[in-house]
């Protein structure tokens, strides 16, 4: 018997990474939970800039609308920038959780401070912004870049070693108690890195999946009385014309 349906959206269009994300999410779902991981039909191959993130959002929202039509109970946005999270909450009936949001909050339960280890240096500012947004600026003691492009996490034979070393160094330099992996493409490295460095390492994909699962179990979803009410229906032009149709969301 299926107890709930969780849809996990990888905002980039690299399906091999989506498969890794799906495996990590599926490993923590409860028996009977239906889980589907997807990549959008349009968007960047990886997200490593504000430009990439902006262009990924329409594809993410299109998948939220498809999930609504398919009866999804909740959603995970599996990119560490949490792209489109606020907009997704406006149009989704069930809860929507981003992996940076879930990972940082999870890390805050495990000690006084955590470090984030991410891919490229140019993305560290976004991670710091999110820590502040989620009320965890003081708990986030440092954000460190491995300088490994997102897609190279799948192809560079030294990727795990480099990420592991960065995590170990972050613990020492920041005096932190845990490490948050700052990319969904690192999800499958979590357990091994934790064993290697002797400290908690948090994968946001697993953390967000379990958070959505818990919220659905509790019967909780986004409040719709104010900011996250359904957006006003209006015409959209050009490639965005389909987003102006009201039938995408459930009542």
**Residue 80, domain CATH:** 3.40.50.12500
Q: Are residues 162 and 211 in the same domain?
A: no
Q: Indicate whether 8 and 90 sit together in one domain.
A: yes
81 and 43 assigned to the same domain: yes
The answer on 126 and 89 residing in a single domain is no
- Average pLDDT in the 18-35 region? 96
Structural domain tally of the chain?
A: 2
Structural domain for 113, as ranges: 100-203
The predicted structure's pLDDT at residue 251: 47
Residues 50, 70 share a domain: yes
Instruction: Check if the beta carbon of residue 204 is closer than 8 Å to that of residue 99.
Output: yes
Residue-wise pLDDT tens digits, 44-55: 999 999 999 999
Neighbouring CB atoms inside 10 A of 148's CB total 21
The pairing of strands 178-181 and 201-203 is parallel
Shared domain for 76 and 144, answered yes or no, is no
Split at pLDDT 50, 70, 90, the class of 156 is very high
Beta bridge mates, 75: 7, 96
pLDDT score at 249: 52
Residues 138 and 74 in one domain: no
Mean pLDDT of 77-99: 97
In this structure, the answer to whether residues 90 and 145 fall within a common structural domain is no
Give yes or no: residues 37 and 129 share one domain: no
Question: Could you tell me the pTM of the whole model?
Answer: 0.95
| Mean of the per-residue pLDDT values of the chain | 95
Query: Which residue stretches of the chain are H helix?
Result: 15-26, 50-70, 85-91, 99-108, 124-133, 152-155, 159-174, 190-197, 204-217
pLDDT of 246 above 80: no
**pLDDT tens profile 102-146:** 999 999 999 999 999 999 999 999 999 999 999 999 999 999 999
- Shared domain for 40 and 133, answered yes or no, is no
Same domain, 94 and 105: no
The reply to whether 22 and 92 lie within a common domain is yes
Query: Which among 203, 220, 236 is the end of a domain?
Result: 203
Neighbours of 234 (CB within 10 A): 8
Query: What's the mean pLDDT in 77-100?
Result: 98
Sign for the CA dihedral angle at 207, 194, 156, 127 comes to: positive
């Amino acid at each position: 018997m299926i107890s709930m349906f969780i849809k996990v959206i990888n905002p980039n269009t690299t399906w091999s990474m989506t498969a890794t994300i799906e495996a990590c999410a599926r490993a923590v779902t409860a028996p009977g939970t239906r889980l589907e991981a997807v990549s959008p039909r349009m968007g960047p191959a990886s997200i490593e800039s504000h430009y990439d993130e902006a262009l990924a959002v329409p594809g993410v929202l299109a998948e939220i609308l498809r999930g609504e039509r398919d009866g999804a109970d909740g959603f995970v946005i599996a990119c560490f920038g949490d792209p489109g999270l606020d907009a997704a909450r406006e149009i989704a009936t069930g809860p929507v959780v981003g992996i940076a949001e879930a990972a940082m909050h999870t890390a805050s339960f495990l000690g006084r401070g955590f470090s984030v280890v991410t891919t490229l240096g140019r993305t560290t500012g976004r991670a710091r912004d999110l820590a502040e947004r989620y009320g965890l600026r003081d708990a986030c003691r440092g954000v460190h870049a491995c300088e490994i492009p997102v897609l190279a996490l799948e192809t560079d034979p030294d990727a795990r070693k480099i990420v592991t070393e960065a995590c170990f160094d972050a613990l020492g330099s920041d005096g932190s108690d845990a490490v948050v992996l700052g990319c969904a493409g690192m999800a499958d490295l979590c357990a091994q890195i934790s064993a290697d460095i002797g400290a908690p390492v948090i994968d946001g994909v697993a953390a967000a999946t379990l958070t959505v699962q818990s919220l659905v179990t509790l019967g909780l979803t986004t409040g719709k009385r104010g900011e996250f009410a359904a957006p006003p229906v209006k015409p959209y032009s050009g490639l965005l014309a389909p987003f102006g149709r009201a039938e995408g969301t459930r009542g």
